[in-house]
Structure 1
Amino acid sequence: MLGHEERTVTADTGRPVSPTAEAILGAPAGSHARAEAGWDHLRTSRRLGRTAAVTDYLLIAAGMVSLLVTDRHLVGDGARRFDALTQLLTGGGLSTDRYSLVGPLFAAPVWWLGRAAGDPGGWITHYNLVLFALSLGLLFGLLRRRVDAVLLRRFLLLLVAGSMIAPHVSDFYGETFTAMTVGVGVLCAVAVVGHPALRAAGWVAMTLGGANTMSTLPALGLVGLRQGARTHRLRFVVPVLVAAVLALAESWARRGSPFDQGYGTERFDFPVLLGVLAILLSFGKGLVFFTPGLLLPARRRLRGLYDPAAVDLWRGQEAWLYFVAGLVVVYGGWWAWNGDLYWGPRFFLVAIFPASLALAAWLTHHDSRPSRNLALLGVLALSLWVGANSTVFEMLLSPTCYPLATKQEDFCRYGVLESRLWYPWLSWPEDLSATRWAQLHYHALVLYWLALPVIIRSFPEVLRRVRQAVRRLPEWRL
């Protein structure tokens, strides 16, 4: 387990890296960057490095299996998107429904396979899981040999086990398409160095994601403006303009007017400040609780963990954060910022990327200070609980505020006891299946695996401070 901390051999191959690569991908510099010298043999052990790598990959694979066996359903917005896609593919023409067909159109091959098998609805509920799996593969291909191997594995593991991805890959809602195209597209567009075709593909992916969810266009524009300000180029505002044209053209083709988005008289007139506070801090939907990794500053922690000649990982992280910030401001002005019955803050799924990367960087960076490691363990435990809760207890609802359209709805948005995140502790189901217990134990295992190195590297400093406190006990007087 302590092989997590190896640095001078590549964890995937066990081969020693060159001195230059070691300097780039080694532990960060600083007084607290490395663990005690006595642990150096654990970081340089080829056997322990391979064991840690194999364990990480097995846990990632087990997490994907857990997502595969999670209950699947086709309800709400997902059912409406499926109906619109079915109408189009069966010759019924374009639906006038409000939800975009940009993302669902990419699910057409899955729909056809499902129809051939006699269950297009059942097959379509796996589409978002396929998108997520492809995104993980693309992230691995983009970052492998460009970033520290331990950081990459922890990043992918946290996306699978320590995020709110589970509800999004068990239905046909549209947020997964937008989040995955933007999440992967950002790295291609602004982070990977020296690949013009890859950058272009990233902007195309982000454009499709913006067209799929028109309310994300301001966030996409914010990323473009930031990139334009950095490079003094105006062309980075083009993707948001293209995405807007695509969205307006779709509205024109489906509803007869480019300005008819299908939402009728619904307007973004909710008090923005109150909306932003609710999106960030509400116990039932707040990003602070559902993506706690966002609380961790990552710029300094990422230093030395990637090859700046191949990828500017901080620039990618920054672009993700800009996008999330844009979403928070936009949805802060909408009365339905909470996503209604849906588990967690569904409009902000893309936040799992910067949250998971920041947490992975803190787990990879060596710091023996107990206070910081205690905070890190708290964020890690909460992240793993988010993953476990969204997987096992997604449909566990407090009777205080459900069904919808009652005066008590806000209890589940703002209250602690009725929050979907905490309600299972008050009303633990007595009929959990063996599969659900296995999923809970899986998340506990991931927590143990990631937390143990943090605890071990904190122990010498904790012991030193305890001894110092004991020596000072005689100084105390009544």
Structure 2
Amino acid sequence: MARTRPPAPASPVRRSLLVVAAVLALSADDRHAGKGSDGRQMIGTAVAIAETGGIGLAKGAPRAVDRGDHAVSRYGFGTTLAQLPAAFLAPLVERRFGAGSSQPLFLLAPFAAVLLAAAASGYAARLAGASASGTSLAVLLAGLGSPLAAYATSDYSEPLQAAALGGALALAFGAARETAPGASARLAAAAGFSAGFAVLLKSSLAAVAPILLLPLAAASFLRGRRLLAAALGSSVPLAAWLVLEIVRFGAPFSGYGGEGFTHPLLDGLWRLLVGPNRGLLLFFPAAALAGVALLRELRSGVDAPRRLAAAASLAAAAVLLVTAASWWAWHGAGGWGPRLLVPAVPLLAPWAALVAAGLADRPRRIVAGLSIALNLPPLLLHTSFVDTYVANARRPALTPRLEKQIPAIAIEPNDEGRPSVPPDQVLATVPAAAPHVVHPWYFAATLAGTPDKVAARLSRPPWYDRRPDLGPRLVPFPAELAAILAPLPRWGFFGRSLLHGASDPASGSVYLQSLAGQVLRAHETGRLDEGLVLADRLLALRPGEEGDALYVESLRLLGRFDTAAAFLGSLPRDREATPSILAVRALLARDRKDPERASRFAGAAAPWFPGTPLATAPSKPSVWPGTFAAFIRHEEARVEPGLPGVGTAR
């Protein structure tokens, strides 16, 4: 039998990938890894593995699942595994280039994932019969002409989900096209692995990933071999997923206890498809062309692998849409566009390219140009700035309608002490707060001039006239905060933070944050010698308030009071009375039987730690907890393992 292989990507496709990589790399703002709780937990777990060999986080990590004296990440473990190389390399980079310089390392995985998703789109388009130019268009639509582009420098798991799902579809399609038994089986095994890894990235993708293997069922004497190879390929990531679910949560699908699919489905559907805030068609208009192509393919009975690939793409995208539309945070709670639908981009881009490639030259250019233009704002201004600004708006009151949708862990007292919900839960329905409105406004605000002028601009967001109750929580908006949240735009490129790191006030430092978390975890789990080693490492990498306090705390817990006092006495003037040092001095004075001195230190530190045991009882050392971690922890709603709910939140 003649051996035929799927057509190799043409040189225009490789050039398209290079264009995507170059544009994303030369517009990358690599300062923001770990600024959201999702990424911070997944990266923090990778750092835990690299530094201690465990997977635990410090108790009290926001939205982490409580496990007694520590916590575990609720998120899929696939991203953590992808971040392991960065976690192992980070301390070397930090020692060589300075504190915070490892930030770009933790964006390598999402950056590569966006390119893989774009490549998978091109490969699938070529398998579906697209010309070289059509295949190139699929790459460009996925990599630059969709919201996926914004996630190349984001620590969310969506780009990896997109790569895994897009890879599963393209590899299964390729296996169905391949007539050589060995090559077909290898492609099928790779498709199975990619589908299994998608589940490891996010448990809910167990309802999506198997659908994408549908092309393997195309009639052929190789069908049985392909299906067996796919099953074997998926077995390793699925086994890892099951073990990690049980170890962390006690049962599969139990990482999102207390949350659920409580948003009205029909409302979520229209908002995620055509809504002014998160409608897919506003961020990825090529999806309309994909819909036309998919419906046309389903009516065609000529090419079975192609028809099955189309059916798989449509069904998988539909499942993603329904699950996102009914999830309580249907809007994604951050990011660019409909974040929860971003993994569907490489499933739709190949089919959109098939239709667009058949258009005349001018309409085809309009499709590509419009798609890219609509997704330029987050390349000019990183979404982390806007997300942080929105998260610090005034919290809207809990209404009877919202009470049915919002889980208890997201409800907190507002400034008036009334139950309230996250501001984005309401702003996601206000057209004036749409990303295509807010990003240009925010970018213009950064150009206003002095920090005082920038702060004045930020005090009145675009939605302020309609919803003044959702304006900035801090009024007047502090100029010093404006300098951090809205710095003057700079030309970014991937790797720039290697040169500046934490010296840039707008930059995060997720490795050092995670290392500090491991010190706190060691303290609360009784691994005191390990805690001292980790604290010493943190102090060497970044001397300052946090490192000083955790080093003293490690010595205190080991009973080395004199060594702790000597270290405190050696601190320079600007570090000897920081809030954290005052708090740990209070604990040290208590342990040395000096309650008056302990209370004095605690009283000075208390205003910096509202809502904590320190602030609640600064003059009662006898009731203080045993560790610095517990002393300054702001207790949040406890997150228990459990299955997500369905229907209403309560």
TM-score (norm 2): 0.50
User: Do the aligned residues in 1 keep the contact of 2:126 with 2:132 (CA within 8 Å)?
Assistant: yes
Is contact 2:172–2:188 with CA below 8 Å preserved after alignment? yes
Give the whole-Å Cα distance in 2 for the aligned partners of 1:436 and 1:325: 36
2:266 is paired with a residue of what secondary structure? helix
Instruction: Give the match for residue 249 of structure 1.
Output: 243
For residue 33 of structure 2, the aligned residue among 38, 60, 73 is 73
Q: In structure 2, do the counterparts of structure 1 residues 59 and 88 end up closer, same or farther at CA, with 3 Å as the change threshold?
A: closer
| Counterpart position of 1:177 | 160
Answer yes or no: is 1:104 the counterpart of 2:87.
no
Highest Rg: 1 or 2? 2
CA offset at residue 295 of structure 1?
0.8
More divergent stretch after superposition (271-280 vs 294-303): 294-303
Residue 43 of structure 1 corresponds to: none
**Aligned-pair CA distance for 1:254:** 2.0
Residues 331, 390 of structure 1: alpha-carbon distance in 2 compared, 3 angstrom cutoff = same
Residue 319 of structure 2 aligns to which amino acid in structure 1? G
Does the CA contact (< 8 Å) of 2:32 and 2:103 recur in 1? no
| Aligned mate of 1:131, from 93, 108, 113 | 113
**Amino acid in structure 1 at the alignment position of 2:49:** L
Moved more, 169-178 or 238-247: 238-247
The change in CA–CA distance for 1:328 and 1:405 in structure 2 (over 3 A counts) is: farther
Give, as a single letter, the amino acid of the residue that structure 2 aligns with 1:126: L
Asked if 2 retains the 8 angstrom alpha-carbon contact of 1:301 and 1:362, the reply is no
Q: What number of residue pairs does the alignment pair up?
A: 379
Deviation, 1:64, is: 3.6
1:164 aligns with 2:157: no
Q: CA separation in 2, counterparts of 1:246 and 1:71? A: 31
Once the two structures are overlaid, the 10-residue window that deviates more, 294-303 or 284-293, is: 294-303
Q: Distance in 1 between matches of 2:197 and 2:441?
A: 42
2:22 is the counterpart of 1:62: yes
Moved more, 406-415 or 154-163: 406-415
Aligned twin of 2:278: 285
Q: Is the 8 A contact 1:70 1:391 kept in 2?
A: no
Q: Give, in whole Å, the separation in 1 of the partners of 2:490 and 2:215.
A: 49
The secondary structure found in structure 2 opposite 1:74 is: coil
Q: Which amino acid aligns with 1:90?
A: E
Shift of 1:181: 1.1
Shift of 1:344: 2.0
1:447 corresponds in structure 2 to none
Residue 82 of structure 1, CA deviation: 0.8
Quote the offset at 1:417 in angstroms: 2.2
Structure 1 residues 161 and 259: CA distance shift in structure 2, 3 A = closer
In the TM superposition, what is the alpha-carbon distance from 1:235 to its structure 2 partner?
5.3
The secondary structure found in structure 2 opposite 1:338 is coil
Which of 80, 84, 88 pairs up with 2:49? 88
**1:386 partner letter:** L
Q: Is the 8 A contact 1:401 1:411 kept in 2?
A: no
Shift of 1:168: 1.6
Shift, 1:57, TM fit? 6.6
Q: Which amino acid aligns with 1:74?
A: G
Is 1:330 the equivalent of 2:330? no
User: Pick from 196, 202, 205: which aligns with 2:185?
Assistant: 196
Deviation sequence 1:318-371 (CA, Å, 0-9, x none): 423321111111222210121113222222222222443344333321448x9x
Q: Which of 331, 334, 341 pairs up with 2:334?
A: 341
Quickly say closer, same or farther: Cα 1:141–1:402, change in 2 above 3 A.
Answer: closer
Within the candidate set 276, 293, 296, 2:269 is matched to 276
Deviates more, 1:420-429 or 1:174-183: 420-429
Please tell me whether the aligned partners of residues 107 and 154 of structure 2 are also in contact (alpha carbons under 8 angstroms): yes
Q: Once superposed, what is the RMSD of the aligned Cα atoms? A: 4.1
Q: Supply the distance in 1 between the matched residues of 2:234 and 2:185 (Cα, whole angstroms).
A: 19
| 1:365-399 superposed Cα distances (whole Å, 9 cap, x missing partner) | 1448x9xx4xx666544411232022113436499
User: Do the aligned partners of residues 317 and 173 (structure 1) sit closer, same or farther apart at CA in structure 2, a change above 3 Å counting?
Assistant: same
Contact 1:111–1:120 (8 Å) recurs in 2: no
Q: Separation in 2 of the partners of 1:342 and 1:227?
A: 34
Structure 2, gaps ≥5 residues long: 1-6, 57-71, 95-100, 179-183, 397-422, 448-487, 494-650
Alignment of 1:11-50 (within 5 A): none
Please tell me whether the aligned partners of residues 282 and 415 of structure 1 are also in contact (alpha carbons under 8 angstroms): no
CA contact (8 A) 2:188 2:227 kept: no
Residues of 1 paired with 2:119 and 2:352: CA distance?
Answer: 20
Q: Aligned residue for 1:393?
A: 381
Deviations 1:195-252 (A, max 9, x none): 2211221121111112220112112244456865988989599688987664332121
Q: Secondary structure at the match of 1:216?
A: helix
Distance 1:271-1:227 versus aligned 2 partners, 3 A rule:
farther
Residue aligned with 1:340, SS: coil
**CA–CA distance in structure 2, aligned partners of residues 249 and 200 of structure 1:** 21
Shift of 1:413: 1.4
Give the drift of 1:163.
1.6
1:219 aligns with 2:208: yes
SS at match of 1:435: coil
Deviations 1:254-302 (A, max 9, x none): 23x1147232221223322222222223222121212221111453899
Contact conserved, 2:125 with 2:354, CA < 8 A, in 1?
no
Separation (CA, whole Å) in 1 of partners of 2:312 and 2:111: 24
- Tell me, what secondary structure is at the counterpart of 2:277? coil
2:194 aligned with 1:205, yes or no? yes
* CA 175–61 in structure 1, closer or farther in 2 if over 3 Å, else same: closer
State the one-letter code of the partner of 1:419.
A
Per the alignment, residue 512 of structure 2 pairs with none
Judged with a 3 Å threshold, the aligned counterparts in structure 2 of structure 1 residues 403 and 230 are, in CA distance, closer, same or farther, namely farther
Q: Find the counterpart in structure 1 of residue 395 from structure 2.
A: 406
